[in-house]
């Protein structure tokens, strides 16, 4: 993972969503925390090109996200409500959907779907309907649908939101075991408690860039 913010910021008229930021990001696990409206989601959306900077630029593995949709190629995004990004009713079909536009044959698509399901031990979900899945199962289905296309970087927005303890533990284990680099946006401070690097955003600015212990302590002060 090689992400660079070069004076990149976002404004909507006179409102600054994210003040210009110069920052390099590498490594395996990056936590992102902050109060609602602090700029953390704008920061994440800049990385995969869902939001374009109004000043400066963002590059992912050397490619400008504003120029060639580099984020869409290199970065997978799991939204806060994964059921909203599962397009087709059957899990297997939804996982295959993202592969079809890449020109793979039917046999290749079927093989890739089976491999990603096996990777997460999710074969039993293949023929289930998305609306029948638990919160944890929805997260796994969304992960399969995103990772089947092979992004090297994964952004997870509030991955344990509204999960019970069992499903939260499942998602925590999956994140810990991902070979892909992961950027985790969360209010679940325990989830990122052992991360070597955590970014704390406050009022549209990066307030702290530090190991988890320091960043979380400062966040607790801000939120008090």
Residue 166's pLDDT band (cuts 50, 70, 90) = confident
Give the pLDDT score at 68.
57
Per-residue model confidence as pLDDT tens digits over 196-205 = 999 999 999 9
Which domains are seen in the chain, by residue range? Answer: 29-38+74-223 (3.40.50.300)
Mean pLDDT for 49-69 is 86
Examine the pLDDT at 103 and tell me if it is beyond 90: no
pLDDT of 70 above 70:
no
d(Cα 166, Cα 164) in Å, to the nearest integer? 6
Give me the pLDDT at residue 167, please.
Answer: 81
Q: For residue 102, what pLDDT is reported? A: 76
pLDDT score of 69: 52
Q: Name the band, by pLDDT with cuts 50, 70 and 90, for residue 81.
A: confident
Residue 92: its pLDDT value, please?
Answer: 93
The mean pLDDT of 62-83, rounded to a whole number, is 75
* pLDDT value for 72: 54
pTM check: above 0.75 = yes
Contact 124, 133 (CB under 8 A): no
Rounded to an integer, what distance in angstroms lies between the CA atom of residue 197 and that of residue 53? 24
């Amino acid at each position: 993972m090689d992400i660079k913010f070069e004076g990149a910021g976002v404004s909507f008229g006179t409102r600054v969503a994210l003040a210009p930021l110069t920052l390099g990001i590498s490594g395996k696990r990056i936590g992102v925390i902050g109060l609602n409206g602090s700029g953390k989601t704008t920061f994440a959306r800049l990385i995969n090109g869902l939001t374009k900077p109004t000043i400066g630029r963002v590059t992912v593995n050397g490619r400008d996200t504003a120029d060639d949709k580099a984020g869409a190629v290199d970065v997978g995004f799991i939204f806060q409500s994964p059921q909203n990004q599962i397009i087709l009713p059957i899990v297997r079909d939804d996982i295959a959907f993202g592969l079809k536009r890449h020109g793979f044959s039917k046999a290749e698509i079927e093989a890739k779907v089976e491999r990603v399901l096996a990777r997460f031990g999710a074969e039993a979900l293949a023929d289930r309907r998305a609306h029948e899945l638990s919160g944890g199962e929805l997260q796994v289905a969304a992960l399969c649908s995103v990772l089947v296309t092979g992004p090297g970087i994964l952004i997870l927005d509030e991955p344990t939101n509204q999960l019970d303890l069992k499903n939260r533990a499942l998602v925590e284990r999956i994140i810990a075991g991902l070979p892909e680099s992961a950027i985790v946006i969360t209010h679940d401070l325990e989830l990122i408690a052992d991360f070597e690097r955590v970014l704390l955003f406050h009022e549209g600015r990066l307030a702290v860039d530090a190991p988890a212990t320091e960043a979380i302590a400062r966040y607790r002060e801000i939120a008090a």
